[in-house]
Amino acid sequence: MKFTLLKALGTSAVLALSATSSAWATECIAPADAGGGWDFTCRQIGKLLYDLKLVDQPVQVTNMAGAGGGVAYTHIVSDRNEDADLIVAASSATTTRLAQNAYAGMAADQVRWVGAIGGDPGVIVVAKDSPFQTLGDLVEAIKADPTSVTFAGGSAAGGFDHLKPLMVLKSAGFTDFAQVKYIGMDGGAEAITQTIGGFTQAMTGDMSEISGFIKSGDVRALAVLTAEPVPGFEEIPTAKSQGFDVEVVNWRGLYVPRGISDDQFNAWAEKLQTVADSAEWKQVMADNGLAPFTKVGADFQGWIDQVIADTTTLSKEIGVIQ
């Protein structure tokens, strides 16, 4: 059986400075610590918004970690609902948490979804000195002793990163998911350091989070969860080529507060489309192993609703939610 998820798959945080500050015209909130996928989204899109003269001043990036993105989501809905100068990094991890009702009862229609402009391939990596040489080695070790391998990921337990190895295991006929150990971190950077440091045996994340670590040789990627090898990283085998029929690509994009006007929303959609069409963004995708995936504007909301419905079904199937 084939499992495909295309992501479509009160706070201790430091609160953001006012988006109307004289120093900054636009703020991008990354709902995780620095170094992860949401941070990557804010910094790369924010830089291009300024470089392409789509905003007048550099974009301020605020890291607001907690609850797998829930702290930031609650902050936007409760405190920044009409802030037209605020954008927020989002991904399949965001829709996964919404699908699992992990944001304290909040729903997808409490924000406005601007769009996605890149697909971030899922990956499973190990430290450079790991005894696991292939994805099959890892799967067989878990089947022999489900508690012998601990995964680290940049989403909360039950979130998008957690689902990736479970989907691989399910494709291999394994079903005792509760025995598989997973530690959720506040972002991919923290998760990868856990694996490099030997605190966990594997990391489940996205290509943009680990491309630099692969290039430096600190980790080895056992598999990329795409149909075909990723350009620029052709040496990484797909899970499918190793006998595991799983594809997981994490879309990366933005949402904005629900209370802004249609004109303000459409303006953000146009700016994001301009970034997506630029040669500079295409270079960012090539440098970081992102795949083309663009959905921008009003129809993105309907697509998000369908993704959440599909993810709810998958989460129940795997046993993450009842």
pLDDT, tens digit, for every residue of 203-234?
A: 999 998 899 999 999 999 999 999 889 888 99
- The answer to whether residues 11 and 110 belong to one domain is yes
Which of the residues in the chain have pLDDT under 70?
1-24
**pTM for the model:** 0.80
pLDDT at position 21 is 38
- The answer to whether residues 187 and 213 belong to one domain is yes
Total structural domains within the chain: 2
Using only C-alpha atoms, the chain has a radius of gyration, in whole angstroms, of 19
Domain encompassing residue 270: 3-120+250-318
CATH for 183: 3.40.190.10
pLDDT tens sequence across 49-85: 999 999 999 999 999 999 989 999 999 999 999 999 9
- CA-based end-to-end distance of the chain: 22
Quote the CA–CA distance of 154 and 288 in Å, as a whole number.
17
- The answer to whether residues 272 and 233 belong to one domain is no
pLDDT at position 55 is 97
Question: Computed from CA positions of residues 202, 207, 209, 213, in that sequence, does the dihedral angle turn out positive or negative?
Answer: positive
- Tell me the angle at which helices 207-216 and 279-288 cross, rounded to the nearest 10 degrees: 60
- The answer to whether residues 241 and 128 belong to one domain is yes
